[in-house]
Amino acid sequence: MPGLKPPPIGSAIPQVQTYVLDEARQPVAPGTAGELYIGGVGVGRGYLNRPNITAERFLPDPFAADETARMYKSGDRVRDRGDGILEFLGRADHQVKIRGFRVELFEIEALLNQHSTVQEGIVLAPEDALGNKRLVAYVLPNDPQTATDNDWIAALKSHLQTQLPSYMVPAQFCVLESLPLTPSGKVDRKALPALDDLGSAPLAPEDQPQTTLEKQVAKIWSQVLGIPTIGLYDDFFELGGSSLLAAQLVSLIAEDLNIELPIRCVYESPTVATLAQTVEILRQAGGNAFSVLTDLTTQAIPQPPSITARQQTQTAPASPEAVFLTGATGFLGAFLLHELLQQTQAQVFCLVRADNRQEAFARLQDTFTKYGLPVANLTGRAVPVPGNLNQLRLGLSKIQFARLADQVDVIYHSGAMVNFVKPYSALEAENVLGTREVLKLAGQGKLKPMNYISTVGVFGAIAYFTGQSMVYEDDDLDLSRDFLCWDDGYAQSKWVTEKMLLAAKAQGLPITVFRPGFIAGNSHTGATNLRDFLSRSLLGCIQLGAYPDLANFKNQVVTVDYASQAILHISQQPESVGGTFHITPWSPARDFAWNNLFAWAQDYGYTLQRLPYRRWKEQLSEHCRHAQDNVLYPLLPFLNETIYEQKLTVLELYENTADFDCSNAIAALKGSGIQCPVVDRQMLFTYLDAFVHQQQLPQSPPLSLSA
């Protein structure tokens, strides 16, 4: 249950070893969750007459001196407190990932069983035919008469919604007359009805789709979600929809209804009723997507909060004692945290989406482990702050928020939802309004400098629309206002946020803005964010065996170690406060073009065909229609949608990319010894080596670097 301390289960007895390992069966740092493996004299030979499960559970022990030793895979998730005592976190097979979030099924079951009308409830996460997991609650009611009562199911769902985040609320509720039991009297989870066998309660007349179009949309939803009955006002995402399923939905709508529906419409119109209305609007507009775009010329810019701080002037503190950091479990944020721990003596308060401090600290440890950063450095100085950017006061109580506002000397706001598929409306709460809550923190208690991590994307495809070939750090944001409607919701959310920050600066808040380009892996270790656009593009094209010919598409790529070091150093210079800095290559010649990336991958040994963009996206779509394991699959709508004049995709708009001057950044770094590494052929080989080591790519014998 959220907020409850995990129970301790003790430590190993003499001559028995316990290992807490990750999914690759490598040891995790103390405090980090992992699966418990047991070695030593207590390990038996296996299960009697059960060779298959014996092979799964009794494994060679790579940590023992005896090469014949074996260890037992317990299936229990535990965490070493740091003193050798293990805490039990649940069964490994009862933790699942839903929409990218880790979910403990027992937490949901415990809350479900607290409801007075529930005799017993079980929650599973079965996979549908397409491999998508969905939460299903199997409920045995106290009163059998409630079995077909929609109001009762709605009450159960409401009970869970008040105490759990949306991704932990089951998409379906299956009411049973009895629960199947094992011979020992426990619930036989494997015998519960499969997804295909689940029925649905009948819909009330007012909830039934009425028009032909509503019925067509509901039928497509049913096909995508695997739910036989869809109500007119059911929410796509509450029923288990995800970004992957949204991509399938728009694909089927295109096939069945002959309308190219932008994927953002699924987020903005998430019910059958509203989505059918949007489809009709697009039909009336002749399929012109402009009728549903986010127009920044009319978009309201939130007013920044009032400054209530005691001091009205503040420069960058030379030696901060307390730092507040958001986004520490992200890629750049993790390296910023690493630099703060290396270069300062400050306590770093890290806002982490979690239910409690233990879980938040474990997430920080997991992130450092993933990127090869020293986990031990977190202990003592990295202070986890469980919260959420999209909540009032960042999810903190008034007392917690006020205490932080008094204690913190400087803020680094790196947290954001980075998503090229979701529309502005789906990102506003976290990226825009979340920043407004951070501004409250900056302007309360003692006035403190705020360092905001933005993106060069706020200028959109400026070269295409205006012909401007160089963007300077002090250029007016309004240069891109009229055409950013054609861009992705992420860039729009950052533009709106920067406009809000300009107003906050005018009120007297000391705000420094950093605009990175694409951020590549660590130049020394190759540690990379596998989920960002650049990594997905490289991996996905290698999977496909082809890449799009975008000869003039530049990437503005810098390494993550340079970006984090540069941001920290610049932010510590008093004369930098209030400025804007591009964290981009130091000259156009030091950036690389899109096609170089794949030419170097071919040099490494992979076979890749260069195709015109249209042919490439058709080949990718066809490939994903049969195999959805390509890492570019979630980005198909972003890559496919022709948004400008119904003929150009976002990437095609960006093909003639502007360069970004970074004179302010270079001047601020003078004398620091910090250099911006060039991402070249040799460095790409470092990244590809890391991908192969992490089994993200098949081994391919590299050619000589001198070839």
Q: Which residue has the higher pLDDT, 191 or 165?
A: 191
Q: Which fold has domain 322-693?
A: Rossmann fold (3.40.50)
| pTM for the model | 0.78
Helices of type H across 134-262: 150-161, 212-225, 243-257
Instruction: Quote the pLDDT of residue 130.
Output: 56
Condensed to tens digits (0 to 9), the pLDDT of residues 134-189 reads 788 999 888 777 655 667 887 888 888 888 877 788 878 888 888 888 887 778 88
Alpha-carbon gap, residue 470 to 431, rounded angstroms? 27
Q: Where in the chain is the domain with CATH 1.10.1200.10?
A: 205-292
- Confidence tier at 402 by pLDDT (50, 70, 90): very high
Please check the confidence at residue 342 and state whether its pLDDT lies above 80. yes
Homologous superfamily (CATH) for 205-292: ACP-like (1.10.1200.10)
Both tokens of residue 344?
Answer: 């300062």
Instruction: Quote the pLDDT of residue 197.
Output: 57
Q: Which fold has domain 99-197?
A: GMP Synthetase; Chain A, domain 3 (3.30.300)
Instruction: Quote the pLDDT of residue 670.
Output: 96
> 102-111, 267-276, 329-338: which has the minimum mean pLDDT?
102-111
Instruction: Quote the pLDDT of residue 227.
Output: 79
- Confidence tier at 229 by pLDDT (50, 70, 90): confident
SS3 571: helix
Alpha-carbon gap, residue 681 to 555, rounded angstroms? 15
Q: Looking at residues 442-458, what average pLDDT do you find?
A: 95
Averaged confidence pLDDT in the chain: 87
Alpha-carbon gap, residue 683 to 178, rounded angstroms? 60
Comparing CA positions, the residue from 307, 323, 306 lying closest to residue 447 is 307
Condensed to tens digits (0 to 9), the pLDDT of residues 521-530 reads 999 999 999 8
Percentage of residues of the chain with pLDDT beyond 70:
92
Condensed to tens digits (0 to 9), the pLDDT of residues 280-320 reads 888 887 766 655 567 777 888 999 999 888 765 566 677 89
Instruction: Quote the pLDDT of residue 210.
Output: 86
Comparing CA positions, the residue from 413, 339, 434 lying closest to residue 382 is 339
| Amino acid letter, residue 541 | C
Please check the confidence at residue 388 and state whether its pLDDT lies above 80. yes
Instruction: Quote the pLDDT of residue 180.
Output: 87
Q: Which residue has the higher pLDDT, 208 or 549?
A: 549
Instruction: Quote the pLDDT of residue 219.
Output: 92
Residue whose token pair is 């009697």 = 48
Condensed to tens digits (0 to 9), the pLDDT of residues 40-67 reads 988 888 888 888 888 888 999 988 888 8
- Confidence tier at 544 by pLDDT (50, 70, 90): very high
Instruction: Quote the pLDDT of residue 706.
Output: 39
Instruction: Quote the pLDDT of residue 1.
Output: 43
Q: Where in the chain is the domain with CATH 3.40.50.720?
A: 322-693
Q: Looking at residues 265-287, what average pLDDT do you find?
A: 87
- Confidence tier at 345 by pLDDT (50, 70, 90): very high
Q: Which residue has the higher pLDDT, 315 or 494?
A: 494
- Confidence tier at 449 by pLDDT (50, 70, 90): very high
Strands (E), 577-669: 580-583, 609-611, 659-660
Instruction: Quote the pLDDT of residue 298.
Output: 80
Taking a C-beta distance cutoff of 8 angstroms, is the pair 287, 542 a contact?
no
Alpha-carbon gap, residue 337 to 328, rounded angstroms? 6
Condensed to tens digits (0 to 9), the pLDDT of residues 616-642 reads 999 998 888 777 778 898 888 888 887
- Confidence tier at 705 by pLDDT (50, 70, 90): very low
Instruction: Quote the pLDDT of residue 311.
Output: 66
Alpha-carbon gap, residue 689 to 700, rounded angstroms? 10
Comparing CA positions, the residue from 641, 538, 633 lying closest to residue 595 is 538
Q: Which fold has domain 8-94?
A: Luciferase; domain 3 (2.30.38)
Please check the confidence at residue 201 and state whether its pLDDT lies above 60. no
Comparing CA positions, the residue from 117, 189, 122, 123 lying closest to residue 153 is 117
Percentage of residues of the chain with pLDDT beyond 90:
45
CB atoms within 10 A of CB 93: 11
Contacts of 544 (CB under 8 A, 6+ apart): 619, 620, 623, 630, 632
Q: Where in the chain is the domain with CATH 2.30.38.10?
A: 8-94
Q: Looking at residues 604-616, what average pLDDT do you find?
A: 94
Q: Looking at residues 243-250, what average pLDDT do you find?
A: 83
Q: Which residue has the higher pLDDT, 304 or 656?
A: 304
> 124-138, 505-519, 539-553: which has the minimum mean pLDDT?
124-138
